[in-house]
Amino acid sequence: MDIVYHPGVNGSDPVVEFYPYTPSATAGYAFMALFGIATIVHTVLTIPFRAAYFIPLILGGICETFGYYGRAWSHESRFEISSWALQEMLILCAPPLIAATVYMVLGRIIRSFNAEHLSSMRTKWLTFVFVMNDVLCFCTQLGGAGVQVTGDPQVMSIGKKVVLAGLIFSLVVFAFFILIAVKFHLRLKKFPTPLLILNSDLKWASYMWAMYVACAAMMVRNLVRTIQFGASRTTDVNTKEAYIYVFDAFLMFLSMLVLIIYHPGKLIKKLRQLSKADVFGNSLQAEERDSLQVPLTQYDARPMQERC
């Protein structure tokens, strides 16, 4: 997405045109409200599900909320750097935070099923590798967006390229993650663990599909953003604000919404309870068997006459 720099004429101050259109205040406030509500719901759900790993997603929701406030604020002036910087930095940085939670969710689901042998990557490394890659994406996009605040045309051009590189890298990371998730899903379906066999009515696949929907939404969002930053200012993706709300705001809200409807914390909590119950049941059965087996030392093997 190009930013037009207008040098001063006849002693006038130079100005930077951040938008090729006047941002909609109505749309900005609408999505500010939607993201705010979704963030509050996710915050509340972390308590019963003990899902502290959803904190990055909550932070991402906060970024989205204030980011769209920035877009609504930009309605007052498309030359105002403060409102543009607020929405640019926060909206770009929110998806990596939400993605970090999704990465952590898969590792916890695998461990809760006691199915690490079915994963293409050890859960210890799965979470670490993808979260670290996500941190790199986050820092790249934050830095790229941050340097654009300077208003210097050359620095802003560099910042745009940095953001573009971060978006492309995040697409690759997402594709690799989805591949690992799908492989685990198919293997677990083909070779269910004892926990799943004993609880065959568990609707675990719905939570996996919810995760796929969230990932797909973020991938499409990143793809469109990549096209946006790589295209010229005159293309439709940059001149029509609808693209931002359809392929960014809506898709990011969808990724948060689907994780509310099928909150992974509910499945993980249920699996942990079933696992503990299974271990406790096996322990009780073992104790009962042991109590029925009287040690041979308690018997007198001598003939009856000798004992008498």
Q: Record the tokens describing residue 8, joined without a space.
A: 């001063």
Per-residue pLDDT of the chain (308 residues; tens, 9 = 90+): 556 666 655 555 667 777 888 899 999 999 999 999 999 999 999 999 999 999 999 999 999 999 999 999 999 887 788 888 888 889 988 998 999 999 999 999 999 999 999 999 888 888 888 888 878 877 777 776 666 655 566 766 777 777 788 888 888 888 899 999 999 999 999 999 999 998 888 899 999 999 999 999 999 998 998 888 777 767 888 888 999 999 999 999 999 999 999 999 999 999 999 888 765 445 444 444 554 454 544 445 455 445 44
pTM > 0.75: yes or no: yes
CATH number listed for the domain at residues 4-271: 1.20.1070
DSSP-derived letter for residue 119 is: S
So what's the pLDDT on residue 102?
93
Q: Record the tokens describing residue 190, joined without a space.
A: 């083909």
So what's the pLDDT on residue 5?
60
- Break the chain into its structural domains and give their ranges: 4-271
Helix (H) or strand (E) holding 297: none
Q: Measure Cα distances from 273 to 110, 127, 199, 226, 282 in Å.
A: 15, 23, 12, 43, 14
So what's the pLDDT on residue 158?
73
So what's the pLDDT on residue 201?
87
